[in-house]
């Protein structure tokens, strides 16, 4: 499988030349994906994610706490 980045760049350029009224905007989903990957590589993000996983595991394993949390969510 190959990266079709060069093909996409060429196609966008050709479309912009032929149809100048079409704005050449990059894929926002791809940009968000790259930004989120960079953020998740930081030690701060890893620390926050680890702490969130501790909370998730607690509420999944504790029947009473998990039930209370579900009841709170149903109100909102």
Cα–Cα distance measured from residue 7 to residue 5, given in angstroms and rounded to the nearest whole number: 5
pLDDT at residue 3 greater than cutoff 80:
no
Average pLDDT over the chain, rounded to an integer: 86
The answer to whether residues 49 and 40 touch, using CB atoms and an 8 Å cutoff, is yes
Structure confidence by residue, pLDDT tens digits, 28-73: 888 899 999 999 889 998 899 999 999 999 988 888 888 888 888 7
- How far from the centroid of its chain's Cα atoms is residue 9's Cα? 23
If one compares 35 and 26, the residue with the highest pLDDT of the two is 35
């Amino acid at each position: 499988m190959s990266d079709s980045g060069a093909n996409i760049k060429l196609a966008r350029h050709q479309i912009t030349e032929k149809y100048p009224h079409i704005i050449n905007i990059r894929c926002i989903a791809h940009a968000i994906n790259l930004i989120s990957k960079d953020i998740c590589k930081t030690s701060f993000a890893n620390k926050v994610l680890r702490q969130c996983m501790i909370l998730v595991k607690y509420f999944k394993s504790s029947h009473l706490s998990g039930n209370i949390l579900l009841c709170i969510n149903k109100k909102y």
